Amino acid sequence: MKVKFYGTRGSLPVCEPGFQEFGGNTTCLQIRFEDTGRIGIIDAGTGIRKLGRDLKAAGHFQEEIVIGFSHFHWDHIQGFPFFGPAFDNNQRLRLIALGKGREISNLQDIFTFQMQGAFFPVQLDNMGAEMIFFQPNLNTYELRGTKTSAIRHNHPGGAYTYRVERYGKTFAFCTDIEHGKGIDQNVVDFCKGVDLLIHDAQFTKEELEKKRGWGHSSYDQAIQVAEMCGAKQLVMTHHDPDHDDVFLKKIEKYCQDRFKDCVLAREGMEVQV
Ligand SMILES: [Zn+2]
Ligand SMILES: [Zn+2]
């Protein structure tokens, strides 16, 4: 599998010159399955717009595109109304909210609401693509040889860590998580032995103290989770909109001194799993 970061920013997109290396778009991941050439997506932050454009430019078409959601805060759905394939009459989209205990009542309502006339000129029903809204009360779902699991973790309104496995390779995507006093052991167990851990790292240790209850992690906590679950590689993401490239590069050096095989996610970066 190849995981590509189309959005690395947390909370809000930023476009100032000092933010170009790590990127300004909000959360969106593309997973490419090299054996079939198919792709899957997790989260539809503003980065999904470019993802859609890249698919078109490459002439990539698959009859169904799956988009899994960690949760439905703005920065994880904001790009959806700008996702090109959603406007294609020949396209089917399967939007999935995997994991038991979801607080949302109806998945379709979230997108209908987001695109109602007061907020957006085109309504969901008029986009064009066929859309399947799939909200199984399951923690594991297998589709076309890929096993995807999700568990709930602490975040305002709830968010989910995803674990994706195919042909013996595994990665976990754990964003918008606030650990308690210690590290959430359920998350550690869930991510045991992954080849790649992608973890929220919005704050420094000091910032986290001031932002308890905001739903995020520190760099140190991301490293702790990676160490505890035995991840081979760590990528940290959901960068705070106040953290510019200079700041993030400094932090990255600090993190690499603690955990050798780690980087901070950059928009456009692709990682082999
Ligand atoms: Zn977020
Ligand atoms: Zn969130």
Question: CA neighbours within 13 Å on the CB side: how many for 72?
Answer: 18
Give the pLDDT confidence score for residue 53 in this predicted structure: 98
- Ligand located closest to 241 CA: 1
| Distance (Å, whole) CA 222 – CA 242 | 19
d(CA 36, ligand 1 centre) in Å? 30
d(CA 174, ligand 1 centre) in Å? 11
d(CA 34, ligand 2 centre) in Å? 30
d(CA 73, ligand 1 centre) in Å? 6
pTM given for the model: 0.97
- Ligand located closest to 156 CA: 2
What's the mean pLDDT in 126-141? 96
147-166 confidence digits (pLDDT tens) = 999 999 999 999 999 999 99
> What backbone torsions phi and psi does residue 249 show, to the nearest 5 degrees?
-70, -35
Share of the chain above pLDDT 70, in %: 100
| Distance (Å, whole) CA 222 – CA 255 | 10
The CATH number of residue 205's host domain is: 3.60.15.10
> What backbone torsions phi and psi does residue 74 show, to the nearest 5 degrees?
-40, -50
Give the pLDDT confidence score for residue 105 in this predicted structure: 86
- pLDDT range class, residue 27, cuts 50, 70, 90: very high
CA distances from 174 to 62, 112, 190, 235 (A): 27, 27, 10, 10
User: Which residues, at least 6 apart from 116, have a Cβ–Cβ distance to it below 8 Å?
Assistant: 123
Domain membership of residue 179 as a residue range:
2-272
d(CA 229, ligand 2 centre) in Å? 23
d(CA 59, ligand 1 centre) in Å? 30
Give the pLDDT confidence score for residue 75 in this predicted structure: 98
DSSP state of 182: S
Average pLDDT taken over every residue of the chain: 97
Give the pLDDT confidence score for residue 17 in this predicted structure: 97
What are the tokens at 123?
Answer: 């309504």
31-89 confidence digits (pLDDT tens) = 999 999 999 999 999 999 999 999 999 999 999 999 999 999 999 999 999 999 999 99
Look at residue 20 and tell me whether its pLDDT is greater than 90.
yes
Name the domain count of the chain: 1
